[in-house]
Amino acid sequence: MDRFIDEKIEQFAHDHTEPEPELFARLREETYRTMERPQMQVGLLEGRFLQMLVRLTNARNILEIGMFTGYSTLMVAEALPDDGRVVTCEVNQKAESIARRYFGESSHGHKITIRMGPAMETIKALSGPIDLVFIDADKTNYSNYYQACFPLVKAGGLIIGDNALWNGKVIDPQDDDTLAIVAFDRLVHSDPRVAHVCLTVRDGMMLAWKR
């Protein structure tokens, strides 16, 4: 991923963030060694920020759309109370098998339920209330995911859209993924049901707080 934030500044922020536990370092290393597009992983800075949001909102029920090899899933699980729960959606079986191994090693793995199959089907079968949603799967469905999970989110709950700045391409959208991200950003921006902020953390994060 080309960075739109100065690399030295990002490194400084990284170096002054709570360090990465050994399990996460191994997961990151294996993902980069064995998976295509490993940079999809949120990484330490955004992972720690997600944890902070889980703690600040006292979230107990989380929905993640886009697990990949489970880095962000484990991050949010670690910040949940012992009876908290994260349901995470994925379609890639190779990613799933890696994630399952690391969830099995973690003392927080029991909080995680993996739902294999198209996320939209999983969302349709879920019941609320959900405290926090992290949208990080196929970009062309971002707006659909937002609309589908909105009724399940409690008042005061948070919906987070990752990659809200899509490598800076949102400034001049030229392809379907970028157009979909811009449509999602506009949808949230025009939604009176939420308070929202579009952050420049990593690849951009849209935070929408349901009134």
Ligand X SMILES: C[S@@+](CC[C@H](N)C(=O)[O-])C[C@H]1O[C@@H](n2cnc3c(N)ncnc32)[C@H](O)[C@@H]1O
Q: Which residues bind to ligand X, rule: CB under 6 A?
A: 40-42, 66-69, 71-72, 89-92, 95, 118-119, 136-138
> In the sheet that 61-65 helps form, which strands lie side by side, from edge to edge?
112-116, 85-90, 61-65, 130-135, 153-162, 205-210, 194-199
Tell me phi and psi for residue 107, to 5 degrees. -75, 0
Nearest CB to ligand X, comparing residues 47 and 84: 47
Q: Which amino acid is at 28?
A: R
Nearer to ligand X, 68 or 150 (CB): 68
Cβ closest to ligand X, residue 42 vs residue 79: 42
Task: Estimate the crossing angle of helix 71-79 against helix 93-105, to 10 degrees.
Answer: 30
Kindly state the smallest distance separating residue 107's Cβ from ligand X, in Å. 19
Q: Smallest distance, Å, CB 114 to ligand X? A: 11
Minimum distance of ligand X from residue 79's CB (angstroms): 14
Considering the complex, state which of residue 39 and residue 156 has its C-beta at the smaller distance from ligand X: 39
User: At closest approach, how far in Å is the CB of 205 from ligand X?
Assistant: 12
Can you tell me the distance from the alpha carbon of 150 to that of 118, in angstroms, rounded to the nearest whole number? 18
Distances (CA, A) of 191 to 144, 174, 210: 14, 25, 10
